[in-house]
């Protein structure tokens, strides 16, 4: 999944009221080796929204949650967080300063990036750095998986060649 040239999928969970902030945060995605997924950018008329969201969280390496007053009160965002945690996804919360612990819900106790609407650039830079680290880990994991596959193949070939009967000499 994270080999050279491949982009790491990242799911952005947010309230539709905060969509423009997620779009702004996702602008750097390509330059750091990730593909940002926002459900509203993937229109699939006739498909169940929950099915689409679950499938994209499942294939993502991480879920970025923009947690504001809007999203903290969104049943969809809370369900996305629960689904991501249940599937052992890395969840990277961006939390509005002053948001009560009660509104953190399932994210309480998880380290987060403070997202200040008055000065959002530091949060964007911190998020870009973290997503860059996620992409790099996936790239290294992809390289390791390739090396293991090559090693297994080579070992199998040696074993097969060793176990093969010698070719009979032709008169």
Residue 166 in tokens: 């010698």
On whether residue 145 sits in a domain, the answer given is no
pLDDT at 142: 64
**What's the pLDDT at 2?**
41
Does residue 43 lie in a domain region?
yes
The boundaries of the domain holding residue 79 are 8-139
Instruction: State residue 3's pLDDT score.
Output: 43
Which pTM was predicted?
0.78
In this prediction, residue 54 carries a pLDDT of 95
For CA atoms 139, 62, 108, 128, the dihedral sign is positive
Which residues of the chain carry a pLDDT beneath 70?
1-5, 142-146, 148-149, 153, 157, 164-171
Q: Is 26 helix (H, G, I), strand (E, B) or coil?
A: helix
Q: Quick one: pLDDT at residue 106?
A: 85
In a domain, 55, yes or no: yes
| Whether the Cβ atoms of residue 78 and residue 97 lie closer than 8 Å to each other | no
Is 96 within 8 Å of 117 (Cβ atoms)? yes
- Would you say residue 52 lies in a domain? yes
Total of domains in the chain:
1
Rounded to 5 degrees, what are φ and ψ at 110?
Answer: -85, 135
Structural domain includes residue 53: yes
CATH at residue 99? 3.40.50.10140
pLDDT the model gives residue 108: 87
Q: Is 25 exposed, middle or buried (0-12, 13-18, 19+ CB in 10 A)?
A: buried
Residue 159 lies in a domain: no
pLDDT at 164: 64
Does a structural domain hold residue 149?
A: no
The answer as to whether 151 is a domain residue is no
């Amino acid at each position: 999944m994270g080999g050279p040239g491949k982009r790491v999928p990242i799911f952005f969970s947010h309230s539709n009221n905060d969509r423009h902030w997620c779009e702004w945060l996702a602008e750097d995605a390509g330059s750091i080796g990730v593909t940002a997924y926002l459900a509203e950018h993937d229109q699939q008329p006739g498909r169940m929204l929950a099915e689409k969201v679950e499938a994209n969280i499942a294939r993502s390496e991480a879920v970025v949650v923009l947690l504001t007053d809007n999203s903290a009160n969104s049943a969809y965002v809370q369900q996305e967080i629960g689904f991501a945690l249940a599937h052992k996804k890395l969840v990277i919360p961006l939390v509005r300063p002053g948001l009560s612990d009660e509104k953190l819900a399932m994210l309480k106790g998880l380290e987060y990036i403070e997202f200040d609407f008055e000065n959002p650039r530091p949060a964007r830079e911190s998020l870009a750095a973290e997503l860059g680290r996620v992409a790099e880990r996936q790239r290294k994991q992809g390289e390791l998986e390739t090396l293991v596959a090559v090693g297994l193949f080579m070992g199998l070939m040696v074993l097969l060649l060793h176990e093969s009967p010698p070719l009979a000499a032709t008169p």
